[in-house]
């Protein structure tokens, strides 16, 4: 499956519009590649003799997409499991579950949203027991912040303390974390690798050649990380790995250059657990929850910063963002460094917070699809936050214009891994003031995304010496009114044809 013949030989890719993504309207007609890299780019097709040629059929070509925030393991694993995002009653759920194929003798289902079904609740453990009395069942809510399990699962999971009584099967917060961790950890190595291979295939189909992936969670041992790191070369795309732990020494021992991921400063708007400065609109007594103390974060962030680890933390609400930002500022004040620490999600922000992010050289790793799904009129964000605060969610343009390193991601499995959908959502953010131009939107999935992992000299733009990573489209993103649905014709990684 090489671009005609040996991948080390020179080849000319022609008959296309290659957007460099260095500046707007900068494009070439043909690209000569060798050894998986771009050798030379041409404005008009050169007359070369004895060089193999691949005609790209008038495709529009961009640097291979980079998703800077995924949980690819869950993405791959749940894809092998059962999808519950399209059901409308609990009866549908039970019917679908009964056809579920076990993975390592466990049942996985994902994408469940109790608000979208008639009964407006989770299934109970005893209801699940009726279908699966002998196999552990794990049903994950669409945002990952809660779940339902059956009695068999409850009996096997190591809870470390007695389950709250009466036990219904519905799990929140750390109970949810322990359960998901147990399910993920108790898979054999083949099932784990299989989940990552499945994830890579799905990502490539949507035009990605590099994917940042969170591994394990704050509770887990580093088994997955080692396994994936040792097998990195076998995957058809590049995975950028994040050990989701808070022990710097373990990260160093693993040979990681970063630490964290969706380690939680707070929860989600959906479950009223995102930490807010002002109370929830629909729960005036609640400000959400900071999951850990200032002292914990200060200690962790200063230690990781000192060890030159790039840090990533999940922050949704304005109070959580400020809690983490304060620690980043302190670290940068003590030892100024270019580590591009990440605030993942970075959903609800004020101008003042954004100015501080810029000053502390923090990266914003964001999910434009969150806006598309939840920030519309009468949607989840308006219910939880009211109109004024909803207009201050997902402030892509304000962040981009401040020159904060802004990158795009799907948070897959939370939303589908699909850069074109993310780009489309970014140019159509509900608040018109926060929309990116199509060029800016592509940058957050290419050149900006490359900079997040310090790979800007290798990927993310098309120029001489860069990796030959391309996504070829049937239509031009910069001219399209329907970006989400543009057909992907080819995906090329290091000169190798993957799709």
The nearest distance, CB 121 to Zn ion, in angstroms, is: 24
Indicate the residue among 238 and 411 with the shorter CB distance to Zn ion.
411
Closer residue to Zn ion (CB): 103 or 262: 262
At residue 360's C-alpha, the angle toward residues 322 and 368, to 5°, is 65
Cα(411)–Cα(208) distance, integer angstroms: 14
| CB contact set of 31 (below 8 Å; sequence gap of 6+) | 12, 13, 18, 38, 40, 41, 42, 462, 468
213 and 344 Cβ atoms separated by less than 8 Å: no
Nearer to Zn ion, 27 or 183 (CB): 183
- What's 348's DSSP letter? B
Q: Rounded to the nearest whole angstrom, what is the least distance from the CB of residue 333 to Zn ion in the complex?
A: 26
C-alpha to C-alpha distance for 336 and 277, rounded to whole angstroms: 29
Decide whether 152 or 224 has the Cβ nearer to Zn ion.
224
How far is it, in rounded angstroms, from Cα 414 to Cα 110? 9
CB of 413 to Zn ion, least distance (A): 9
Contacts of 331 (CB under 8 A, 6+ apart): 301, 302, 305, 306, 341
- Residue whose CB is less far from Zn ion, 145 or 494: 145
| Shortest distance, position 7 Cβ to Zn ion, whole Å | 34
Q: Shortest approach of Zn ion to residue 384 CB, angstroms?
A: 17
* Number of Cα atoms under 13 Å in the Cβ half of residue 159: 14
Partner residues linked to 257 by β-bridges: none
Nearer residue to Zn ion within complex by CB, 318 or 411? 411
- Min. distance of Cβ 104 from Zn ion in angstroms? 23
- The pair of three-digit structure tokens given for residue 438, joined into one six-digit string: 């199509």
- List residues binding Zn ion (CB under 5 A): 262, 314, 411
Q: Which residue lies nearer to Zn ion by CB, 244 or 480?
A: 244
**CB of 497 vs Zn ion, minimal distance in Å:** 31
DSSP state of 314: E
30: β partners: 42
Taking the least distance from each CB to Zn ion, the nearer of 322 and 411 is 411
Smallest gap from Cβ 387 to Zn ion, in A, equals 25
**In what helix (H) or strand (E) does residue 54 lie, and over which residues does it extend?**
strand 52-63
* Cα pseudo-dihedral 330, 332, 336, 342, rounded to 10: 160
Q: Which is nearer to Zn ion, 11 or 71 (CB)?
A: 71
In angstroms, the CA 298 to CA 59 distance is: 49
Q: What's the closest the beta carbon of residue 272 comes to Zn ion, in angstroms?
A: 16
Residue 344 makes CB contacts below 8 A (sequence gap 6+) with: 69, 261, 262, 312, 313, 314, 315, 365, 409
Query: In 3-state terms, what secondary structure has residue 315?
Result: strand
């Amino acid at each position: 499956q090489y671009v005609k013949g040996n991948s080390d030989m020179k080849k000319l890719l022609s008959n296309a519009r290659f957007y460099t993504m260095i500046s707007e309207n900068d494009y070439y007609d043909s690209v000569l590649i060798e050894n998986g890299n771009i050798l030379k780019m041409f404005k008009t097709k050169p007359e070369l003799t004895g060089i193999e040629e691949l005609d790209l059929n008038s495709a529009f070509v961009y640097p291979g997409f980079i998703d800077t925030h995924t949980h690819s393991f869950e993405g791959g694993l749940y894809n092998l499991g059962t999808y519950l995002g399209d059901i409308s009653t609990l009866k549908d759920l039970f019917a679908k579950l009964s056809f579920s194929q076990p993975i390592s003798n466990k049942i996985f289902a994902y994408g469940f949203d109790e608000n979208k079904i008639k009964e407006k609740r989770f299934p109970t453990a005893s209801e699940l027991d009726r279908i699966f009395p002998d196999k552990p069942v794990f049903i994950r809510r669409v945002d990952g912040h809660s779940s339902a399990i059956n009695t068999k699962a409850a009996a096997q999971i190591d809870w470390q303390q007695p389950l709250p009584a009466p036990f219904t099967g519905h799990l929140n917060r750390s109970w949810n974390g322990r359960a998901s961790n147990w399910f993920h950890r108790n898979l054999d190595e083949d099932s784990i690798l299989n989940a990552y291979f499945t994830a890579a295939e799905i990502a490539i189909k949507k035009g990605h050649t590099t994917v940042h992936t969170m591994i394990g969670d704050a509770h887990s041992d580093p088994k997955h990380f080692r396994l994936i790191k040792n097998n990195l070369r076998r995957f058809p795309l590049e995975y950028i790995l994040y050990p989701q732990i808070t022990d710097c020494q373990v990260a160093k021992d693993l040979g990681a250059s970063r630490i964290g991921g969706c380690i939680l400063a707070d929860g989600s708007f959906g479950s009223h657990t995102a930490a807010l400065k002002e109370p929830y609109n629909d729960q005036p007594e609640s400000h959400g929850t900071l999951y850990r103390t200032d002292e914990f974060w200060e200690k962790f962030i200063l230690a990781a910063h000192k060890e030159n680890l790039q840090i990533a933390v999940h922050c949704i609400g304005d109070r959580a963002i400020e809690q983490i930002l304060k620690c980043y500022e302190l670290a940068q004040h003590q030892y100024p460094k270019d580590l591009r620490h990440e605030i993942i999600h970075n959903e609800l922000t004020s101008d003042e917070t954004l100015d501080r992010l810029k000053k502390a050289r923090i990266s914003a790793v964001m999910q434009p699809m969150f806006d598309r799904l939840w920030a519309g009129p009468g949607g989840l964000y308006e219910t939880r936050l009211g109109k004024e605060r909803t207009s201050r969610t997902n402030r892509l343009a304000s962040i981009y214009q401040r020159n904060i390193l802004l990158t795009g991601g799907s948070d897959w499995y939370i939303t589908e891994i699909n850069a074109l959908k993310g780009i489309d959502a970014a140019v159509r953010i509900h608040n018109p003031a926060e929309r990116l131009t199509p060029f800016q939107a592509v940058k957050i999935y290419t050149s900006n995304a490359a900079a997040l992992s310090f790979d800007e000299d290798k990927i993310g733009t098309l120029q001489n010496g860069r990796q030959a990573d391309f996504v070829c489209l049937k239509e031009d993103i910069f001219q399209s009114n329907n970006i989400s649905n543009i057909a992907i014709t080819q995906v090329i990684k290091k000169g190798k044809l993957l799709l």
